Amino acid sequence: MVMFRGRSLLGRYDVLALVAGIWLLAKGVRYAFPPLFDQLKLTYSVSNTAVGAAFTGFMLVYALMQFPSGLLADRLGAARVIIAGVVMTAFGAGVVTLGGPFAVLVAAMALMGAGTGAHKTVAITLLAKTYPERTGRTLGIFDTLGTFGGVVAPVAVAGILALGLSWRTIFGSAALAGFVLGVAVFFRVQRTQGATSRQATHGIRDYTEPFTDGRFVAFVVVTLGFSFTYNGVAAFLPLYLTETADVGGAVASLLYSVLFVVSVVQIATGELADRAGRLSVITATLTLATASLGLLVAAATIDARVAGIPVLGAVGVVGFGLGSHGFRPVRGLYLEALLPDSLAGGGLGAVRSALMGAGAVAPAAVGFIADRGGFGAAFVLLLISLGAATLVAVGLWLTED
């Protein structure tokens, strides 16, 4: 086994492995639901509206948990909140496995939304504390595994259904995995790091103090602009490619998958941020994402008879994916550095709630504009949003001490 500074590599990164494993499970549970909508409609004899509303409830509870989970982590310690979140998720998955009326499913989904929502904000603060010299690398690995939860979940659902097993099997497996991970975090993290956990007693008003810092507010603006753009693109990219960029349906689906597969770049950008500086990597990744989105917009505005438009669209998708995913771990790393240590959990939670709010608005805004002016006009709006965020990031980089 490889040894690293007197400890095995596995032993040194076991905390990362545990919290990243929980994040993979959380994303997997979330993205297992959309492929199962048809099964849920048949099982419970409900409409598309009903299953859609249940999933919306899941996501709303997830978003609402960001700030309180961070605040509790500041007061009780990150490990306790992570354990409570994964156990809550496992319990909700177990309830789904046991069955019951549709109302029970909705309640279980809300419980899983709360459990998964308690994780990422708190995990970022724990990883930053555990790996202070390699926070960028660890956050890159953490975010990459989470992204692949969205890739693995549909495949797992398809495999279980192909084998003729009940769709509830996937949630039974998730429940078991969640309980095992919760126990592992208790013995490895809580028992060994519990004595050094934060015991802050700050009030809600204290968490507004970082927002009096102009540079902090400027970076929050950067993250809001990015979140709005990314979620808008992710929601409508396949339709955009087929309707405006002369790309066939099969190729559009493939490119949509590529958008997530290239998330492996997060490992590299997280490592690079540790070495070259956070704002320089943030500026580079946002510039790449903006330029690539510009290619996508150009692919929609050039006459469709011009050869090479599909290639232009493909290059735009790959570049946008690399820039966007590359930005994510460094965003969390930089925000963590800007916040006082005693306010890191709640402060990061407040920002993440705002990010999710901006991201939730984006699909509705893009759909509204597309219905009236076409997807070309909608993606121009997204390009303006990302371009403005990039300009603010460049300003922060140029004025950095």
300-332 b/e with 16+ CB inside 10 Å = b? beeeeeeeebbebbbebbbbbbbbbbbbbbbbb
Q: Which of the pair, 200 or 147, is modelled with greater confidence?
A: 147
Domains of the chain: 3-196 (1.20.1250.20), 204-398 (1.20.1250.20)
Task: Note the pLDDT tens digit of each residue in 92-141.
Answer: 999 999 989 999 999 999 999 999 988 988 888 888 788 877 777 788 78
The sign of the dihedral angle between the CA atoms of 367, 370, 371, 372 is: positive
Q: Which of the pair, 206 or 384, is modelled with greater confidence?
A: 384
Separation of alpha carbons 294 and 386, rounded Å: 10
- Nearest Cα residue to 92 out of 118, 123, 126: 118
**Mean pLDDT, range 151-180, rounded to an integer:** 88
Write out the two tokens for 326.
């590359």
**Mean pLDDT, range 273-290, rounded to an integer:** 91
* Cβ-contact 342, 115 below 8 angstroms: no
* Cβ-contact 362, 75 below 8 angstroms: no
Write out the two tokens for 87.
């156990």
Separation of alpha carbons 236 and 79, rounded Å: 37
Q: Which residues pair with 3 in a beta bridge?
A: 8
| 8: phi then psi, degrees, rounded to nearest 5 | -65, 155
Task: Note the pLDDT tens digit of each residue in 207-216.
Answer: 566 667 788 8
* CA 334 centroid distance within chain: 16
Write out the two tokens for 351.
């920002």
Strand locations in 49-169 (E): none
* pLDDT (0 to 100) of residue 210: 64
Q: Which residues pair with 4 in a beta bridge?
A: 7
* Cβ-contact 125, 73 below 8 angstroms: yes
pLDDT at 7 over 70: no
The sign of the dihedral angle between the CA atoms of 12, 14, 15, 21 is: positive
**Mean pLDDT, range 14-25, rounded to an integer:** 91
Residues 6+ apart with CB under 8 A from 267: 137, 140, 141, 144
Separation of alpha carbons 27 and 74, rounded Å: 24
> Running DSSP on this structure, what letter comes out for residue 168?
T
Using alpha carbons only, how large is the chain's radius of gyration in Å?
21
- Give residue 184's pLDDT band: very low, low, confident or very high (50, 70, 90): very high
* pLDDT (0 to 100) of residue 338: 74
Write out the two tokens for 220.
């929050």
Q: Which of the pair, 82 or 340, is modelled with greater confidence?
A: 82
Q: Which of the pair, 252 or 33, is modelled with greater confidence?
A: 33
* pLDDT (0 to 100) of residue 143: 81
131-164 b/e with 16+ CB inside 10 Å = b? beebbbbbbbbbbbbbbbbbbbbeebbeebbeee
- Nearest Cα residue to 186 out of 8, 27, 18, 69: 18
Task: Note the pLDDT tens digit of each residue in 237-271.
Answer: 877 887 777 677 667 767 777 887 888 888 888 78
* Cβ-contact 31, 149 below 8 angstroms: yes
Write out the two tokens for 75.
């007061």
First-last CA distance in the chain: 42
pTM of the model: 0.71
Separation of alpha carbons 81 and 325, rounded Å: 26
**Mean pLDDT, range 146-169, rounded to an integer:** 83
